[in-house]
Structure 1
Amino acid sequence: MSGLGYEETFELNGELIKTTVTYSNDAKIDNHISSFLRPSINHQTKVIGFDAEWFLSHTREKGKFSLSQCASIQLCDGHSCLIIQLNLFHNWSRDLSFIKPLLNFLSMPDYTFVGVGIKTNLAKLEKYYGIGCRNSVELGPLAATVMFDPLLSYCGVDELAFAVDSVV
C-alpha cells in the first residue's frame, strides 16, 4: 500500500472485483474511470453504482449533528470499484481540478448512476461542491415499481439486494 492509496481484488459471489482506493491526484482516478468507459457487452447504457459517505459534525445546538464534508465517493460497475477518499485531499473543496475525470464522467449521457439515497447525495454534492451528475436513478422506488412492493422504496441497499436476489 502506498501513501496515495491502494488496489486490492476481492471475490464476491464467484466474481473478482478489482477495488481501487485513492486519495491522490495521480493517474489512479483517471485509469479506473477509463476502465468504466470500456464498452459493455451489449453496447447499451452502462449502469454504475454510486454512493457518497459524509462526515457528521456537531452543530452549535446541543445534541444536533449535520453533514459537513463528503468523506468519500464510491463508484462500482460489477467488476471494479473506485473509492475516492475526498477528505484526504488537501484543500480539495477549493480546487476540484484533481477530480476532473470524475466530474466529466458523471456528466456523460450514456452512463446511468444508481444508488440508494443517490438523489440526496448528488444534491448535497452539487450544493456544497458543484459536483453534478447527468443521469441518476434512485434504486428504492425503481425496485418498488418493478416488484409491485411500495415498501421497497424505503429499503437500504442490503435489503434491496436481498429482495431482488430472492426473485432472480
Structure 2
Amino acid sequence: METLRGPQFTMNDGNTLVTEVVSDDDSHLCLYVLLQDMLKIGDLVVGFDIEWGFKGSSTSGSGSRSGRNTEHHSQSDKSELLTRKVEHHIAVLSFCTRLGCVLIRLAPNHISPSLKRFFSIKDIMFVGVHIKEDLQRLRSVHDLVVRNAVDLSDLAAKIYDQPRFLVYNARELACKIASLRVDPKPLNVLWSNWFENTLSPEQIESATIDAYATYRIGKKLMESGSSSVKRLFL
C-alpha cells in the first residue's frame, strides 16, 4: 500500500509524523493515500490549517510606447508612475491524520479537481482553529465548499464554557485541551512568504506542528463523549 514520503518530525508527545509536500496539481495520490488509511482505521477526522502568502506585480501607469517616443519619455517624463501591487492568497493547505501530514501548495486563484473532490466528501470532518474566514475565502475565490468543517475555537469554548478559548491559536488551544505543549511559532516562519519557490525545513516543520495540533484538539473533543459535542457546519 502506498504511504506518505518526506521528512519526519517528532512531536512533543513522542509521535513521529511524516510530512509530504506536493503541488495542488500533483496532490491526487497523497489525498488518495490519506483517504484509504482513514477508511481502513475508521478515523475520519482531518486536522486542517492554512498558510497565506503574497504575490507582487509591477504595472506602469502610463501605458506602452514605441520608437523614439519611448526613449524620450524614459529620460524626461519624471512623473511616470510605477505601481507595485501586492496581493495575499492562500498559499498552503495543511492536512493531518493519524498517518501523517500533507502540505499542498496552491497557485493563486486555482484549485485542482482532486482537492475539490476531497473537500466534498461529507464523511470527513475537517477540524481547524479560526478557520471561518479561510473557508469563506475558499468559497468566494475558488468556489470550493467544504461539506463538513468544525471550528475548534467555537467548539472548545462551548464544551468547556471558556470564552477565552475563542482567541487561542492552535498551539495554545492544544496545550489546554490535549496537553500538547508546543513552542510558539518562530518569528522567521511567522513572517515568511509561503509562496517562495521552496518551503524551508522550518516552514514545513511549523506547518506540520500546527496541523497536528488541530488534529489532536479535534480528536480530544470528538471523543470526549460529552452530550455538548456538536458539529458546527461552516
TM over 0.5: yes
3-state secondary structure, aligned to 2:158: helix
Match of 2:31 in 1: 33
* Structural mapping, 1:23-102, within 5 Å: 23=23, 25-26=25-26, 29-38=27-36, 39=39, 41=41, 43=42, 46-56=44-54, 68-87=88-107, 93=109, 96=111, 99-102=112-115
2:18 & 2:151 partners in 1: Cα distance? 25
Greater share of helix residues, 1 or 2? Answer: 2
* Residue 122 of structure 1 pairs with residue 138 of structure 2: no
Provide closer, same or farther for how the CA distance between residues 81 and 133 of structure 1 changes in structure 2, counting only shifts above 3 A.
same
Relative contact order (alpha carbons < 8 A, sep ≥ 6): 1 or 2 greater? Answer: 2
**TM-superposed deviation, 1:138:** 0.4
1:18 & 1:161 partners in 2: Cα distance? 20
**Aligned partner of 1:148: which letter?**
D
Name which one, 1 or 2, has greater alpha-carbon Rg: 2
The size of the alignment, in residue pairs, is 146
**TM-superposed deviation, 1:128:** 1.1
- Tell me which stretches of 4 or more aligned residues in structure 1 moved more than 2 Å: 23-26, 55-58, 65-68, 165-168
2:165 & 2:93 partners in 1: Cα distance? 24
| Cα RMSD after superposing both structures | 2.6
1:67 & 1:132 partners in 2: Cα distance? 23
Which residue among 167, 178, 181 is the counterpart of 1:165? 178
Unaligned residue ranges in structure 1 (runs of 5+):
1-5, 59-64
2:48 & 2:179 partners in 1: Cα distance? 23
1:134 & 1:140 partners in 2: Cα distance? 19
C-alpha distance after superposition, 1:66-90 (max 9, x if no partner): 8631111111113311111114xxx
Unaligned residue ranges in structure 2 (runs of 5+):
57-84, 181-219, 221-234
C-alpha distance after superposition, 1:116-164 (max 9, x if no partner): 1212111001111112211100011111112221111221101100111
C-alpha distance after superposition, 1:53-112 (max 9, x if no partner): 223579xxxxxx98631111111113311111114xxxx63x54xx22211010101101
3-state secondary structure, aligned to 1:124: helix
Percent sequence identity over matched residues? Answer: 29
Answer whether contact 2:24 2:115 (CA < 8 A) is retained. no
**Aligned partner of 1:121: which letter?**
D
Match of 1:18 in 2: 18
1:146 & 1:66 partners in 2: Cα distance? 40
2:16 & 2:138 partners in 1: Cα distance? 30
2:55 & 2:28 partners in 1: Cα distance? 31
Greater share of strand residues, 1 or 2? Answer: 1
TM-score (norm 1): 0.75
**Aligned partner of 2:8: which letter?**
T
